[in-house]
Amino acid sequence: MDLYDAIHARHTTNGAFDSRPVSQEDKQRLLEMAARAPSHFNSQPWRFILVENAARRKQIGHIAGESMRQLIENGEFWQQYRRYFRFNQHEVDTTHDGIHFDTMPNVLKPFVKYLFTDQGNKVVNAMQVPRVLGNDARKLVESSPLLLGLALNRTEYKPDQLSSLYSVISLGAVVQTIWLSATALGMGLQFVSTPQEIPTQWARVSQLLQIPDNFELLLMLRLGYVNPDIKRPTIDWTSPQRKGIHELAFQEQWGEPLTNEHDAALQ
Protein backbone atom coordinates (compact mmCIF):
# COMPACT_ATOMS: atom_id res chain seq x y z
CA MET A 1 0.00 0.00 0.00
CA ASP A 2 1.23 3.45 -0.90
CA LEU A 3 2.18 5.53 2.16
CA TYR A 4 -0.28 8.33 1.38
CA ASP A 5 -3.08 5.81 0.85
CA ALA A 6 -2.30 4.20 4.19
CA ILE A 7 -2.37 7.59 5.93
CA HIS A 8 -5.76 8.33 4.39
CA ALA A 9 -7.15 4.86 5.09
CA ARG A 10 -6.05 4.75 8.74
CA HIS A 11 -8.89 5.27 11.12
CA THR A 12 -10.15 4.03 14.46
CA THR A 13 -11.99 0.71 14.31
CA ASN A 14 -14.81 0.95 16.85
CA GLY A 15 -16.44 -2.34 15.94
CA ALA A 16 -15.38 -5.95 16.34
CA PHE A 17 -12.59 -7.51 14.35
CA ASP A 18 -12.61 -10.73 12.42
CA SER A 19 -12.10 -13.61 14.84
CA ARG A 20 -9.05 -15.09 13.09
CA PRO A 21 -5.78 -14.65 14.97
CA VAL A 22 -3.15 -12.26 13.71
CA SER A 23 -0.61 -14.26 11.72
CA GLN A 24 2.90 -14.74 13.00
CA GLU A 25 4.22 -12.94 9.96
CA ASP A 26 1.97 -9.90 10.47
CA LYS A 27 2.83 -9.66 14.18
CA GLN A 28 6.50 -9.78 13.32
CA ARG A 29 6.01 -7.06 10.72
CA LEU A 30 4.13 -4.79 13.13
CA LEU A 31 6.84 -5.12 15.78
CA GLU A 32 9.70 -4.66 13.37
CA MET A 33 8.08 -1.53 11.97
CA ALA A 34 7.34 -0.22 15.50
CA ALA A 35 10.98 -0.69 16.45
CA ARG A 36 11.99 1.61 13.56
CA ALA A 37 10.34 4.58 15.30
CA PRO A 38 12.56 7.52 16.24
CA SER A 39 13.47 8.11 19.89
CA HIS A 40 15.60 10.71 21.71
CA PHE A 41 19.26 9.65 21.55
CA ASN A 42 17.96 6.38 20.08
CA SER A 43 16.99 5.41 23.61
CA GLN A 44 14.16 3.10 22.40
CA PRO A 45 12.35 3.59 25.71
CA TRP A 46 9.26 1.54 24.76
CA ARG A 47 8.40 -2.11 25.32
CA PHE A 48 5.50 -4.05 23.82
CA ILE A 49 3.39 -6.70 25.51
CA LEU A 50 1.33 -8.85 23.18
CA VAL A 51 -1.72 -10.47 24.72
CA GLU A 52 -3.40 -13.21 22.71
CA ASN A 53 -4.34 -15.75 25.34
CA ALA A 54 -8.17 -15.91 25.48
CA ALA A 55 -8.40 -16.04 29.29
CA ARG A 56 -6.13 -13.04 29.64
CA ARG A 57 -8.01 -11.07 26.98
CA LYS A 58 -11.19 -11.86 28.88
CA GLN A 59 -9.70 -10.46 32.08
CA ILE A 60 -8.65 -7.25 30.34
CA GLY A 61 -12.03 -7.09 28.60
CA HIS A 62 -13.73 -7.36 31.98
CA ILE A 63 -11.67 -4.46 33.34
CA ALA A 64 -12.35 -2.37 30.20
CA GLY A 65 -16.10 -3.05 30.44
CA GLU A 66 -16.24 -2.22 34.14
CA SER A 67 -14.25 0.97 33.56
CA MET A 68 -16.56 2.10 30.78
CA ARG A 69 -19.65 1.43 32.87
CA GLN A 70 -18.21 3.29 35.88
CA LEU A 71 -17.16 6.30 33.79
CA ILE A 72 -20.53 6.67 32.11
CA GLU A 73 -22.59 5.98 35.19
CA ASN A 74 -21.11 8.66 37.40
CA GLY A 75 -21.56 11.29 34.69
CA GLU A 76 -18.02 12.65 35.00
CA PHE A 77 -17.07 11.25 31.63
CA TRP A 78 -19.73 13.32 29.84
CA GLN A 79 -18.80 16.42 31.83
CA GLN A 80 -15.06 16.08 31.40
CA TYR A 81 -15.14 15.40 27.68
CA ARG A 82 -18.27 17.20 26.56
CA ARG A 83 -16.28 19.67 24.47
CA TYR A 84 -15.33 16.84 22.10
CA PHE A 85 -18.81 15.41 21.57
CA ARG A 86 -20.83 16.21 18.45
CA PHE A 87 -24.38 15.00 18.09
CA ASN A 88 -25.34 16.22 14.63
CA GLN A 89 -23.78 17.02 11.28
CA HIS A 90 -24.18 20.76 11.84
CA GLU A 91 -21.87 20.61 14.87
CA VAL A 92 -19.35 18.58 12.87
CA ASP A 93 -19.46 21.03 9.96
CA THR A 94 -19.02 23.98 12.28
CA THR A 95 -16.07 22.68 14.30
CA HIS A 96 -14.42 20.14 11.97
CA ASP A 97 -13.22 18.26 15.03
CA GLY A 98 -14.47 16.08 17.89
CA ILE A 99 -16.24 12.75 17.67
CA HIS A 100 -19.69 12.46 16.13
CA PHE A 101 -22.17 10.12 17.83
CA ASP A 102 -24.04 9.11 14.70
CA THR A 103 -25.32 5.71 15.82
CA MET A 104 -27.59 5.17 18.79
CA PRO A 105 -30.97 3.59 19.51
CA ASN A 106 -33.83 5.88 18.43
CA VAL A 107 -35.30 5.82 21.91
CA LEU A 108 -32.18 7.57 23.20
CA LYS A 109 -32.02 10.39 20.68
CA PRO A 110 -34.46 12.83 22.32
CA PHE A 111 -32.47 12.69 25.58
CA VAL A 112 -29.06 13.40 24.16
CA LYS A 113 -29.33 17.16 24.51
CA TYR A 114 -29.93 16.76 28.27
CA LEU A 115 -26.97 14.46 28.69
CA PHE A 116 -24.78 17.03 30.34
CA THR A 117 -27.20 17.84 33.12
CA ASP A 118 -27.64 15.81 36.30
CA GLN A 119 -31.20 15.08 35.31
CA GLY A 120 -30.17 13.99 31.80
CA ASN A 121 -27.50 11.72 33.20
CA LYS A 122 -30.09 10.09 35.46
CA VAL A 123 -32.37 9.45 32.49
CA VAL A 124 -29.53 8.03 30.41
CA ASN A 125 -28.53 5.79 33.30
CA ALA A 126 -32.10 4.64 33.73
CA MET A 127 -32.06 3.69 30.05
CA GLN A 128 -29.16 1.36 30.79
CA VAL A 129 -26.65 3.28 28.68
CA PRO A 130 -23.73 2.54 31.07
CA ARG A 131 -24.56 -1.16 30.96
CA VAL A 132 -24.86 -1.21 27.14
CA LEU A 133 -21.59 0.69 26.65
CA GLY A 134 -19.83 -1.39 29.31
CA ASN A 135 -20.95 -4.63 27.71
CA ASP A 136 -19.97 -3.42 24.25
CA ALA A 137 -16.51 -2.42 25.52
CA ARG A 138 -15.99 -5.73 27.29
CA LYS A 139 -16.98 -7.78 24.26
CA LEU A 140 -14.89 -5.68 21.88
CA VAL A 141 -11.77 -6.03 24.00
CA GLU A 142 -12.07 -9.71 24.86
CA SER A 143 -12.89 -10.66 21.27
CA SER A 144 -9.93 -8.75 19.80
CA PRO A 145 -7.35 -11.26 18.61
CA LEU A 146 -4.48 -9.09 19.73
CA LEU A 147 -4.15 -6.67 22.63
CA LEU A 148 -0.99 -4.67 22.74
CA GLY A 149 0.29 -2.97 25.87
CA LEU A 150 2.92 -0.28 25.44
CA ALA A 151 5.18 0.61 28.34
CA LEU A 152 7.83 3.30 28.76
CA ASN A 153 11.08 3.04 30.66
CA ARG A 154 10.80 5.17 33.82
CA THR A 155 14.44 6.20 33.48
CA GLU A 156 13.23 8.21 30.48
CA TYR A 157 9.59 8.74 31.40
CA LYS A 158 10.12 10.96 34.41
CA PRO A 159 7.44 13.54 35.08
CA ASP A 160 8.77 17.13 34.90
CA GLN A 161 11.80 16.18 32.84
CA LEU A 162 12.18 16.87 29.16
CA SER A 163 13.04 13.22 28.51
CA SER A 164 9.48 12.44 29.57
CA LEU A 165 8.12 14.62 26.78
CA TYR A 166 10.60 13.11 24.34
CA SER A 167 9.54 9.60 25.36
CA VAL A 168 5.89 10.38 24.82
CA ILE A 169 6.61 11.93 21.43
CA SER A 170 8.54 8.79 20.54
CA LEU A 171 5.68 6.60 21.75
CA GLY A 172 3.35 8.57 19.49
CA ALA A 173 5.63 7.78 16.57
CA VAL A 174 5.50 4.11 17.56
CA VAL A 175 1.72 4.13 17.65
CA GLN A 176 1.39 5.82 14.28
CA THR A 177 3.90 3.40 12.77
CA ILE A 178 1.99 0.41 14.13
CA TRP A 179 -1.30 1.91 12.99
CA LEU A 180 -0.15 2.60 9.42
CA SER A 181 1.50 -0.81 9.18
CA ALA A 182 -1.67 -2.46 10.50
CA THR A 183 -3.71 -0.57 7.91
CA ALA A 184 -1.42 -1.82 5.14
CA LEU A 185 -1.90 -5.39 6.45
CA GLY A 186 -5.71 -5.16 6.37
CA MET A 187 -5.92 -4.72 10.11
CA GLY A 188 -7.65 -2.18 12.34
CA LEU A 189 -6.77 -0.67 15.70
CA GLN A 190 -8.49 1.02 18.59
CA PHE A 191 -7.15 2.64 21.74
CA VAL A 192 -8.47 1.07 24.95
CA SER A 193 -8.12 4.13 27.17
CA THR A 194 -11.10 3.73 29.49
CA PRO A 195 -9.27 1.66 32.17
CA GLN A 196 -6.59 4.34 32.13
CA GLU A 197 -9.18 6.89 33.24
CA ILE A 198 -9.52 5.07 36.56
CA PRO A 199 -6.17 4.60 38.34
CA THR A 200 -7.24 1.49 40.26
CA GLN A 201 -8.41 -0.20 37.05
CA TRP A 202 -5.22 0.72 35.22
CA ALA A 203 -3.19 -0.70 38.11
CA ARG A 204 -5.09 -3.97 37.64
CA VAL A 205 -4.13 -4.08 33.96
CA SER A 206 -0.48 -3.28 34.78
CA GLN A 207 -0.52 -6.01 37.41
CA LEU A 208 -1.98 -8.52 34.98
CA LEU A 209 0.76 -7.77 32.48
CA GLN A 210 3.38 -7.94 35.25
CA ILE A 211 4.89 -4.59 34.31
CA PRO A 212 8.10 -4.23 36.37
CA ASP A 213 8.68 -1.20 38.62
CA ASN A 214 11.15 0.42 36.23
CA PHE A 215 8.52 0.56 33.45
CA GLU A 216 5.13 2.22 33.25
CA LEU A 217 2.24 0.97 31.17
CA LEU A 218 1.21 3.92 29.00
CA LEU A 219 -1.21 2.48 26.51
CA MET A 220 -3.39 -0.45 25.60
CA LEU A 221 -4.40 -1.04 21.98
CA ARG A 222 -6.64 -3.67 20.45
CA LEU A 223 -5.95 -5.00 16.98
CA GLY A 224 -7.27 -7.50 14.48
CA TYR A 225 -8.20 -7.97 10.85
CA VAL A 226 -11.04 -5.77 9.66
CA ASN A 227 -14.18 -7.39 8.37
CA PRO A 228 -16.61 -5.05 6.57
CA ASP A 229 -19.54 -7.40 7.26
CA ILE A 230 -19.38 -6.83 11.01
CA LYS A 231 -22.02 -4.38 12.19
CA ARG A 232 -21.28 -1.26 14.20
CA PRO A 233 -21.72 -1.08 18.01
CA THR A 234 -25.14 -0.08 19.46
CA ILE A 235 -23.89 3.38 20.39
CA ASP A 236 -21.11 4.52 18.14
CA TRP A 237 -19.21 7.50 16.81
CA THR A 238 -17.09 8.43 13.85
CA SER A 239 -14.49 11.16 13.34
CA PRO A 240 -13.21 11.45 9.77
CA GLN A 241 -13.60 15.24 9.74
CA ARG A 242 -10.48 17.36 9.84
CA LYS A 243 -9.83 21.07 10.07
CA GLY A 244 -8.58 22.69 6.88
CA ILE A 245 -4.85 23.25 6.49
CA HIS A 246 -5.53 27.00 6.61
CA GLU A 247 -6.97 26.55 10.11
CA LEU A 248 -4.00 24.53 11.32
CA ALA A 249 -0.94 26.14 9.80
CA PHE A 250 0.47 29.65 9.61
CA GLN A 251 3.03 31.29 7.40
CA GLU A 252 6.23 32.55 9.06
CA GLN A 253 4.46 33.60 12.27
CA TRP A 254 1.42 32.72 14.32
CA GLY A 255 -1.80 33.99 12.78
CA GLU A 256 -0.40 34.74 9.32
CA PRO A 257 -2.35 32.82 6.68
CA LEU A 258 -0.48 30.52 4.36
CA THR A 259 0.17 31.82 0.90
CA ASN A 260 -2.52 30.53 -1.47
CA GLU A 261 -0.09 28.41 -3.47
CA HIS A 262 1.13 26.66 -0.36
CA ASP A 263 -2.36 25.99 0.94
CA ALA A 264 -3.52 24.62 -2.40
CA ALA A 265 -0.52 22.35 -2.69
CA LEU A 266 -1.20 20.81 0.73
CA GLN A 267 -4.93 20.23 0.32
What are the start-end ranges of the H helices in the chain? Answer: 3-9, 24-34, 54-73, 76-81, 89-95, 118-126, 129-142, 162-184, 199-208, 245-248, 260-266
Stretch that binds ligand FMN, among 10-18, 143-151, 198-206, 224-232 (CB under 6 A): 10-18
Stretch that binds ligand FMN, among 126-134, 144-152, 185-193, 249-257 (CB under 6 A): 185-193
Print the binding letters for residues 12-41 with ligand FMN: x by CB under 6 A, - otherwise: x-x---------------------------
Q: Of 164, 176, 234, 239, which one interacts with ligand FMN (CB under 6 A)?
A: 239
Q: Shortest gap between Cβ of 155 and ligand FMN (angstroms)?
A: 22
Q: Quick one: 44 or 239, whose CB is closer to ligand FMN?
A: 239
- Nearest residue to ligand FMN, using CB? 193
* 11 is a site residue for ligand FMN (CB under 6 A): yes
What are the phi and psi torsion angles at 69 (to 5°)? Answer: -60, -45
- If you write DSSP's letter for every residue of 32-74 in order, what string do you get? HHHTTS--GGG---EEEEEE--HHHHHHHHHHHHHHHHHHHHT
Q: Are 96 and 243 contacting, i.e. CB atoms less than 8 angstroms apart?
A: yes
CA distance 21 to 114: 42
* 103 is a site residue for ligand FMN (CB under 6 A): no
* 80 is a site residue for ligand FMN (CB under 6 A): no
Measured CA distances, 78 to 38, 62, 94, 230, 264 (Å): 36, 22, 21, 28, 38
CA distance 22 to 11: 19
Q: Quick one: 124 or 192, whose CB is closer to ligand FMN?
A: 192
CA distance 138 to 51: 15
CA distance 112 to 71: 17
Q: Shortest gap between Cβ of 219 and ligand FMN (angstroms)?
A: 8
CA distance 85 to 188: 23
Q: Quick one: 6 or 123, whose CB is closer to ligand FMN?
A: 6
Q: Are 30 and 178 contacting, i.e. CB atoms less than 8 angstroms apart?
A: yes
Q: Shortest gap between Cβ of 239 and ligand FMN (angstroms)?
A: 3
Stretch that binds ligand FMN, among 73-81, 150-158, 189-197, 226-234 (CB under 6 A): 189-197
Q: How many residues at the interface with ligand FMN, by CB under 6 A?
A: 9
Q: Which of residues 191-210 bind ligand FMN (CB under 6 A)?
A: 191, 193-194
Tell whether the torsion through CA atoms of 21, 196, 193 and 38 is positive or negative: negative
Q: Shortest gap between Cβ of 190 and ligand FMN (angstroms)?
A: 5
Q: Shortest gap between Cβ of 179 and ligand FMN (angstroms)?
A: 8
* 3-class DSSP assignment, residue 121: helix
Q: Shortest gap between Cβ of 242 and ligand FMN (angstroms)?
A: 8
Q: Of 167, 181, 183, 190, which one interacts with ligand FMN (CB under 6 A)?
A: 190
Residue of 59, 23, 19, 11 whose CA lies nearest to 145: 19
Return residues touching ligand FMN (CB under 6 A).
11-12, 14, 99, 190-191, 193-194, 239
